[in-house]
Structure 1
Amino acid sequence: MSALFAYPKQAEFGRVLPKNKIYEHSGANARQKDLFVEQVEQIVWRYKLAPETINLAAKPGVPEIQVFAIQLKTPELHHDVLRCIDGAVQFPIIFELTQGQGAEAKTQVVAAYKRPSEADAASWVSSAYFESGWMPATSERAPLPLALDLGGLYEQLLHQLVPIAPRTQEPLRDLVARTEAVMTKANEVAKAEARLAKEKQFNRKVEINATLRQLKTELEQLSR
């Protein structure tokens, strides 16, 4: 299934979000503001998925789901920009990033798993960001997945972005934690491979190779 969904007309919100309002609500620093200026053309709050707009009940942690469209000035968007927006809006958000115009425009869907903090219910915590590939902006959109409530809908939207398959009966929260561990371990593998490529001494090569094999075994176990 595509990560691009046809959101219901009745959920359309269509409000442009001024960047300065996001700065105010997120406490963005100078570097983050520079990223907004350099990389973001416009942010539009496209859809509000809520009990009153799509007739699905709210769930603890998922009272609503927002869909934000971001038109980019650059081919990529730094995740710190998304983290700023997530910090300013106290609801789960699905981002649709678009680069280019007209027939050349491409879209990517990005989201973090976002939930209220267990330590402070007024605060929200976010996972790493998961993303689809870039696809033509005119790609056909899939119907929204069937769900009993907003919590179930949110899980299905995120499952389209998380890069590894869930284990049998694995809750979304556990899948996200395992995926983050896979991302960390893959980074360790890449660093070990880079060290191995640079190392000249035979003894050190043997040591790094042993470490690399162990890391790859751990990565494979986490990925299954």
Structure 2
Amino acid sequence: MLNLPSTVLVNRVMPKKVFYEHLKTTAAIKEQFVQQIERIEMVASIKEASIHIPGDKDVAEIDVLALYLKGIGIPYEAIELVARSISNKLLFICLTNESCKLLVRRDRLYETGWEPTDGAKLELVGSTLGELWDSIVSQVIFGDASYTDLAGRLERKRRSEALRLELEQVERKRKSEKQIAKKNALFDRKRAIEAELSRLEGES
């Protein structure tokens, strides 16, 4: 799975009950474990002993967890609970109907689109586990394996998303605005947003 080296593979089933019976949760989240997840499996444990890449102060181990789903719905709250309950960095693989998608949690959950399970691959890039983790996050969010300036790239992504949302709101208001002065002010704001978006795209 994911074309990972055999030295990191674990392939151990993790009982779902461990998460929803022994951790503080809600009935709705427990329902996600019961109704949406068939089983949880630890696919791999990426650490210095298994891959000969040293850890650092932030990352000592990266675990790959497979969630075999009963349908195509993603149990986001259950995934959040698992992410909060395990101190290691986690890459989630959701699998259903010979398709999979990858998820990681940074400031929030990020995910790829669905892709054929057989074609899904993960590049292990970096001279430390911290760099390797940033590379994994980059592969999920940006579709490339670069670990350089991940924090900056994420900040620009968040800013771009906020600006695009504001741009939609400005354009809607401008279409319905009757007063010329306000309409012109909205047009100026639209141009300013577009200019900042262009700058951010150039820095990406």
Letter of the structure 1 residue corresponding to residue 124 of structure 2:
P
Letter of the structure 2 residue corresponding to residue 95 of structure 1:
F
User: Cα offset for 1:174?
Assistant: 2.5
Q: Say whether residues 1:67 and 2:46 are aligned partners.
A: no
User: Cα offset for 1:191?
Assistant: 3.9
Once the two structures are superposed, residues 95-128 of structure 1 have per-residue CA deviations (whole angstroms, 9 ceiling, x without a partner) of 111121xxxx211111123xxxxxxxxxxxxx12
Residues 94 and 177 from structure 1, CA distance in 2 versus in 1: closer, same or farther, beyond 3 angstroms?
A: same
Structure 2 equivalent of residue 106 of structure 1: 99
Answer whether contact 1:185 1:215 (CA < 8 A) is retained. Answer: yes
Where in structure 1 are there 5+ consecutive unaligned residues? 114-126
Letter of the structure 2 residue corresponding to residue 54 of structure 1:
I
Size of the alignment, in residue pairs?
Answer: 201
Structure 1 equivalent of residue 141 of structure 2: 162
Q: Say whether residues 1:172 and 2:146 are aligned partners.
A: no
Identity of matched residues, %? 20
Instruction: Give the distance between the partners of 1:80 and 1:27, measured in 2 at CA.
Output: 13
Q: Say whether residues 1:215 and 2:190 are aligned partners.
A: no
Q: What pairs with 1:133-148 in structure 2 (closer than 5 Å)?
A: 133-139=113-119, 141=121, 144-148=123-127
Letter of the structure 1 residue corresponding to residue 74 of structure 2:
L
CA RMSD of aligned residues (A): 3.0
Q: 1:32 aligns with which of 13, 29, 33?
A: 29
Letter of the structure 2 residue corresponding to residue 212 of structure 1:
K
Residues 40 and 183 from structure 1, CA distance in 2 versus in 1: closer, same or farther, beyond 3 angstroms?
A: farther
Once the two structures are superposed, residues 69-109 of structure 1 have per-residue CA deviations (whole angstroms, 9 ceiling, x without a partner) of 11223324153332111101111111111121xxxx21111
* TM-score under structure 2 length normalisation: 0.80
Residues 145 and 164 from structure 1, CA distance in 2 versus in 1: closer, same or farther, beyond 3 angstroms?
A: closer
**Which has the higher relative contact order, 1 or 2, with Cα contacts under 8 A spaced 6 or more apart?**
1
More helix by share: 2
Structure 1 equivalent of residue 82 of structure 2: 85
Answer whether contact 1:64 1:91 (CA < 8 A) is retained. Answer: yes
Answer whether contact 1:14 1:47 (CA < 8 A) is retained. Answer: yes
Instruction: Give the distance between the partners of 2:43 and 2:102, measured in 1 at CA.
Output: 13
Structure 1 equivalent of residue 94 of structure 2: 97
Q: Say whether residues 1:151 and 2:130 are aligned partners.
A: yes
Where in structure 2 are there 5+ consecutive unaligned residues? none
Q: Say whether residues 1:186 and 2:164 are aligned partners.
A: yes
Answer whether contact 2:33 2:75 (CA < 8 A) is retained. Answer: no
User: Cα offset for 1:66?
Assistant: 0.5
Letter of the structure 2 residue corresponding to residue 136 of structure 1:
P
Answer whether contact 1:17 1:45 (CA < 8 A) is retained. Answer: yes
Task: Point out 4+ residue stretches in structure 1 off by more than 6 angstroms.
Answer: 164-167
Instruction: Give the distance between the partners of 2:163 and 2:69, measured in 1 at CA.
Output: 31
Answer whether contact 2:136 2:145 (CA < 8 A) is retained. Answer: no
* TM-score under structure 1 length normalisation: 0.74
Residues 209 and 78 from structure 1, CA distance in 2 versus in 1: closer, same or farther, beyond 3 angstroms?
A: farther
Instruction: Give the distance between the partners of 2:144 and 2:183, measured in 1 at CA.
Output: 34
State which drifts further: 211-220 or 46-55: 211-220
